[in-house]
Amino acid sequence: MVIEVKMPKLGLTMVEGRIVEWLKKVGDRVEVDEIIATIETEKLVGDVKAPASGFLARILYEEGSKARVNEVIALIAENEEELGKILSGTPVAPAPTVIEEKIEKARVPEVTQVKPAGKVRATPAARKLAEELGVSLDEVWRYFPDKEIISQEDVKAYVEKIRTAPPKVAEAGLTVLEERPLSPMRLRIAENLLKSAREMVLTTITMEVNVDKLEELRNSLPKDKRPSITAFLVKALANALREHREFNASLEENKLRIYKDINVGVAVALEGGLIVPVIKNADVKSVTQISAELEELARKAREGTLSLEEVTGSTITVSNLGMYGVDVFTPVIYPGHVAILGVGRIYEKVVAEPPRGITIKKYFVLSLTFDHRVTDGAQAAVFLKKIREYIENPYQLITIS
Which residues are CB-neighbours of 282 under 8 A, at least 6 positions away? 234, 235, 237, 238, 262, 263, 264, 290
User: Are residues 190 and 15 in contact, defined by beta-carbon separation less than 8 angstroms?
Assistant: no
User: Are residues 73 and 5 in contact, defined by beta-carbon separation less than 8 angstroms?
Assistant: yes
Task: Tell me which residue of 128, 380, 120, 140 sits closest to 246, measured CA to CA.
Answer: 380
Task: Tell me which residue of 113, 176, 120 sits closest to 143, measured CA to CA.
Answer: 120
Catalytic annotation present for 47: no
Choice among 47, 212, 244, 372 that is catalytic: 372
The distance of Cα 27 from the centroid of its chain, to the nearest Å, equals 35
User: Are residues 387 and 229 in contact, defined by beta-carbon separation less than 8 angstroms?
Assistant: no
What are the helix and strand counts (H, E) for the chain? 10, 21
DSSP string, 139-176: HHHHH-TT-SSB-HHHHHHHHHHHHHSPPEE-TTSPEE
Task: Tell me which residue of 81, 67, 174 sits closest to 124, measured CA to CA.
Answer: 67
Catalytic annotation present for 146: no
Catalytic residues, by residue number, are: 372, 376
